[in-house]
Amino acid sequence: MIATLEPKLVAGLQAAAREILETMVFLTPTQVSEVPLTCSMLRAEVTGLLPFTGTRRGTFAVSTTEVLARTIAAKMLMMEPSDLGSFQEAADGFGEVVNMIGGNFKNAWVADGNKMDLSTPQVVHNGGIKVDSDKAGSLRSGIRVVLPEGELLIGVHFEAAT
């Protein structure tokens, strides 16, 4: 069985998502709840990934629909989704939001006595990603963020401690 984050760190993840979405994207979640992450295979229309190292290595992941990813990117840029030309423009904006949520969660992780160095966000469009959080000693937790425009699944996947 894969372990999950301590409740205070799950609360930190929830607070990070809510704060960034409300203050930087101008979207107010109607619900932010913990959900089990049953596997390390991520498959969605859009998945933003933010690898990290530090006390533990892993990947921060945010998955959603293309429509919501475009909406999030556009709102952050104070535009309409239709004003974004290519999906790449939306991917860049969505990747930055993933980076901000991950950076905000990092504050809770570090406050708990850990270290975390974030890498560069990547956005996968219509694909599947396998992260390394299935081995004994791995740790993963997830939250579902419900917005009027759709849902985000946010997960933190820590590799097995070495």
d(CA 28, CA 26): 7
**Multiple choice CATH, 7-158, 3.40.120.10, 3.40.50.2000, 3.40.1550.10, 3.90.1150.10:** 3.40.1550.10
Please report the pLDDT score of residue 10 as a whole number: 96
Per-residue CA distances from 21 to 100, 136, 160 (Å): 10, 33, 30
Does the pLDDT at position 158 exceed 70? yes
Please report the pLDDT score of residue 1 as a whole number: 63
Does the pLDDT at position 122 exceed 90? yes
Does the pLDDT at position 14 exceed 80? yes
Query: Which run of H or of E encompasses 6?
Result: none
Neighbouring CB atoms inside 10 A of 18's CB total 17
- Residue 160 is given by DSSP the state P
Torsion of CA 79, 154, 134, 130, to 10 degrees: -10
Could you read off the pLDDT of 15-54 as tens digits, one per residue? Answer: 999 999 999 999 999 999 999 998 888 889 999 999 999 9
Mean pLDDT of all residues in 100-116: 96
